Homo-oligomer: A and B are copies of this chain.
Amino acid sequence: MVTIREVAAHAGVGAGTVSRVINESAGVSPTTRARVLESIATLQYRPNPLARGLSRGRCQTIGVIVPFFTQASAIERLRGVVAALGGSRYDLVLFDVETPEHRAEHVATLNRQRADGLLVMSLPLADDELARIMATGMAVVLVDAQHEGLPAVVTDDTEGGRMATEHLVDLGHRRIGFMGDDPDNEFGFNSSALRETGYRVAMADAGITPDEALVLHGPHERGVGTELAGQLLSGPEPPTAIVCCSDVQAAGAIEAIRAAGLRMPQDVSVVGFDDIEMATHLGLTTVRRPLFHSGQLGARLLLEALGVHPPEPQVHELDLELVTRTSTAPPGATSEPQGETT
């Protein structure tokens, strides 16, 4: 391994000078600079990031702590993060959380030396957890999560639930079901609950009292969507439309509708949430969350915070958008659905 000293010797300068050249600090004569660069090239010198990090107190790495990173929505966000980091000199370390233990372990072991900055995704961290992390001096940006005094990128879940429901109300539906994630999950996820609130708001606005038998909960999985929709559809008074708190559950619901021999949207309309790629192919009407954008913006904010700028504890709210496809129609519609399918 070639060290900075060897380069210095080769170029006939001091180690400090080589360092200055590497870091593009001012105060090196063009001549010396050129000579040093040449030595670097001939010796194929690469600075040791560990030594550099130790010396400077930072490690040119940003960490992303994310639950269930293989979920389509998480991946899409990560794609945004990777895009934002491309070109910067920062490496990306992934901290996946699948269990509360993972979460605790990461919170406990995270420190300034493992990452200069941390992107917390979709994980509502407790006050003490955040306090511990902040105490390390790491820059922190929240994505799809929010906490007093911290910069965050969010969307309005309540509004999203409202939009989805309103769309169905506008189409003329009255018996509208809702299916969401378990309200008391071990991670404290609450976006599904907020969307449910939005659902209730829209229902109230329309003067409809939701039938509690049509509001179901279960884990965030496709199969669960199938199951819950099955329950909904086999009841005495099945809904004519279903608001799903995610495209994943919605995809499951669509399966159940098909399995029940019903047509979508003629017999049952479905609205999802997220607009992951699958939604396009399913023709699923859904509330689009700017996933890629949120990851990208979060990473950018973090890079900014790591730069000269002081990290502003600003909350960036990204807009939701209702994407209408073929899964929704007025109740009892008989004609073939029209609209974008691809």
A293 within 8 A of B: no
**Given A93-B92, A94-B92: A1 and B76 interface contact (C-beta under 8 Å):** no
Closest to A68 in B: B79
State the CA gap A51–B113 with chains docked (Å). 9
Decide: B93 and A93 in contact? CB cutoff 8 A. yes
Q: Tell me, yes or no, whether A324 is within 8 Å of chain B by CB.
A: no
> Contact mask A49-72 → B, CB, 8 Å, 1/0?
111011000010100000001100
A76–B82 contact, CB under 8 A? Answer: no
> Quick check: is A281 within 8 A (CB to CB) of the other chain?
yes
Size bin of chain A's contact surface: 35 or more
Given A70-B76, A75-B75, A251-B281, is A111 in contact with B53 using a C-beta cutoff of 8 Å? no
CB distance from A1 to the nearest CB of B (A): 7
Instruction: Check: A255 CB closer than 8 A to any chain B CB.
Output: yes
| Interface membership of A278, Cβ < 8 A | yes
Tell whether, in the assembled complex, residue A1 and residue B278 are in contact, meaning their CB atoms are under 8 Å apart.
no
B75 x A94 contact (CB < 8 A): no
The contact of A51 among B54, B136, B255, by CB within 8 Å, is B54
Please give, as numbers and ranges, the residues of chain B lying within 8 Å of A102 by CB-CB distance.
Answer: 86
Cβ-based interface call for A48 (8 A)? yes
> By the criterion CB–CB under 8 Å, are B70 and A113 in contact?
no
Bound: A93/B79 CA distance, A: 14
B70 near A78: Cβ-Cβ < 8 Å: yes
A220 interface residue, CB < 8 Å from B?
no
Does A112 reach chain B (CB closer than 8 Å)?
A: yes
Q: Is A109 an interface residue (CB 8 A)?
A: yes
B82 to A96, Cβ gap below 8 A?
yes
A–B pairs, 25, beta carbons within 8 Å:
A1-B111, A1-B112, A1-B136, A46-B109, A48-B54, A48-B113, A49-B111, A49-B114, A50-B54, A51-B54, A54-B54, A61-B93, A69-B78, A70-B75, A70-B78, A75-B75, A82-B94, A82-B96, A86-B96, A86-B102, A91-B114, A93-B93, A255-B281, A255-B342, A278-B278
